[in-house]
């Protein structure tokens, strides 16, 4: 029997809603909770990912959400940094951390990192950070060097990530373009009892589809870095908290009926509307194994040139990724160039969103130009 899938137009309309782009969200912490996690190795980009969903916000609001410990930054998924709700980090790490450490074993051996070196690095880190202290990356690595733990090459970075995966360290106070490191248990102590593995998987799946739905089990497996077996178990354990959108995709069950379904009898979904200026690594494009519903496959490689994992800032019109944009900061204002996929874009149509972006960063918006095609 053939699979019945909703049209791409219906998917785009529903995703603009679930991402919080259509109507906006009330706070930075609410945006991070809605998305479940936000890829954040590019710290500045991750700030605009959440800021673009919170009307009137500024970059300092993201720093404040971190300083208030509502949002944490660590390595919970796919071996890269993410912003996550503080209450979720340990539970996610309990599932993903051991898997990532296992997958990193070959690289650890290549770098000469073993359990003995890890234990020494952990002792030094805990000694230097206890009592509410924080260290920059350079300061932490200097402490390791002084204690006989070599950090040359990528050893220091991998030790930091390893300790974060074991829920020892996390990002703490914001400093310049980055953060200082702190002990997770001191910076954000656990409040509630740890749930079981099945409950955590279910919560993670529900969280994912709440902020990314309609989405498939394969999308969730890619996003979380878990196996398909775990992803399918997560769907099963989620129970009535999620509902089918079509034969492959799911949404949270409290989404209105008019956003569901792929049959001819289903009521029409709201039209995907609006223009958005999204950050590099924005979850609207990044957060799926299958990105075809929101971006023509012929153009997808331009968003990730060279397939090197570095995602470019995107322009979205009526739910579809229609081009890229690039800011160039100058002495008095930041100019922006637009690069449309299917012809020249009208700068005037994206100017209001670009003004929001400039205000978020406290910058003056200069000339907006569009590349001719």
**8 A C-beta contact, residue 242 and residue 210:** no
pLDDT of amino acid 32:
98
**Domain boundaries defined on the chain:** 11-187, 194-259, 275-370
Pairing of strands 365-370, 334-340: parallel
**Is the pLDDT reported for residue 7 higher than 80?**
yes
Beta strands in 253-358 (DSSP E): 275-278, 314-317, 320-329, 334-340
Mapping DSSP to helix (H, G, I), strand (E, B) and coil, where does residue 366 land?
strand
pLDDT for the residue numbered 306: 80
Average pLDDT over residues 36-44: 97
For the domain spanning 194-259, the CATH number is 1.10.10.10
Give residues with Cβ within 8 angstroms of 129, minimum separation 6: 135, 169, 181, 182, 183, 186
Tell me what percent of the chain is helix, strand and coil, each rounded to the nearest 5. Answer: 45, 20, 35
Give which of 299, 303, 292 is closest to 343, Cα–Cα. Answer: 299
> Per-residue pLDDT tens for 160-207?
999 999 999 999 999 999 999 999 999 999 888 889 999 999 999 999
pLDDT single digits (tens) 110-156: 999 999 999 999 999 999 999 999 999 999 999 999 999 999 999 99
Task: Look at 3 and 35; give whichever has higher pLDDT.
Answer: 35
Task: Please measure the distance between the N-terminal and C-terminal CA atoms of the chain and give it in whole angstroms.
Answer: 43
Q: Which residue has the tokens 């998305």?
A: 35
- Residue pointed to by tokens 């069950």: 253
Least confident among 92-101, 109-118, 330-339: 330-339
Taking only the tens place, the pLDDT of each residue in 53-69 is 999 999 999 999 999 99
- Give the span between the Cα atoms of 332 and 272, in whole angstroms: 36
The whole-number pLDDT of residue 373 equals: 64
Q: Among 3-7, 15-19, 110-114, 273-277, which stretch is predicted with the lowest mean pLDDT?
A: 3-7
- Give whole-number Cα distances, 143 to 38, 150, 161, 186, in Å: 30, 10, 16, 20
Give the pLDDT band of residue 350 (cuts 50, 70, 90). Answer: very high
Q: What percent of the chain has pLDDT over 70?
A: 94
Q: Which two tokens stand for residue 76?
A: 């919970």
Average pLDDT over residues 253-275: 54
Per-residue pLDDT of 267-326, as tens digits, reads 445 677 899 999 999 999 999 999 999 999 999 999 999 877 899 999 999 999 999 999
Per-residue pLDDT band for 358 (boundaries 50, 70, 90) equals very high
Residue 249: closest CA among 5, 2, 3 = 5
């Amino acid at each position: 029997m053939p699979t019945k899938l909703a049209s791409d137009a219906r998917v785009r309309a529903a995703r603009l809603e679930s991402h919080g782009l259509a109507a906006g969200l009330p706070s930075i912490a609410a945006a991070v909770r809605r998305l479940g996690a936000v890829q954040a190795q590019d710290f500045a980009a991750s700030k605009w990912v959440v800021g673009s969903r919170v009307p009137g916000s500024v970059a300092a609001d993201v720093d404040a959400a971190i300083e208030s410990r509502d949002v944490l930054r660590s390595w919970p998924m796919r071996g890269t940094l993410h912003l996550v709700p503080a209450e979720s980090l340990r539970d996610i790490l309990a599932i993903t951390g051991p898997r990532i450490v296992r997958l990193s074993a070959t690289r650890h051996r290549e770098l000469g990192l073993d359990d003995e070196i890890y234990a020494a690095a952990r002792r030094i880190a805990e000694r230097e950070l206890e009592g509410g202290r924080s260290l920059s990356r350079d300061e932490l690595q200097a402490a390791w060097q002084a204690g006989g733990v070599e950090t040359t090459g990528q050893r220091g970075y991998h030790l930091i990530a390893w300790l974060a995966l074991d829920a020892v360290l996390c990002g703490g106070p914001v400093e310049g373009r980055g953060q200082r490191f702190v002990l997770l248990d001191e910076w954000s102590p656990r409040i509630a009892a740890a749930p079981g593995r099945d409950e955590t998987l279910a919560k993670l799946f529900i969280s994912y589809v709440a902020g990314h739905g309609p989405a498939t089990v394969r999308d969730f497996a890619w996003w979380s870095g878990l196996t398909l077996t775990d992803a399918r178990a997560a769907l099963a354990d989620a129970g009535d908290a999620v509902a089918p959108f079509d034969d492959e995709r799911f949404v949270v069950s409290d989404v209105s009926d008019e956003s569901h379904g792929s049959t001819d009898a289903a009521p029409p979904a709201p039209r995907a509307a609006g223009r958005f200026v999204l950050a590099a690594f924005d979850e609207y494009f990044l957060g799926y194994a299958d990105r075809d519903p929101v971006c023509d496959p012929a153009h997808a490689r331009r968003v990730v040139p060279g397939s090197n994992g570095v995602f470019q800032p995107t322009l979205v019109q009526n739910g579809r990724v229609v081009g890229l944009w690039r800011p160039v900061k100058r002495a008095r204002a930041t100019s922006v160039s637009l690069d449309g996929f299917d012809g020249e874009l009208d700068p005037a149509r994206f100017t209001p969103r670009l003004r929001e972006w400039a205000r978020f960063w406290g910058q003056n918006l200069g000339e907006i130009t569009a590349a001719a095609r």
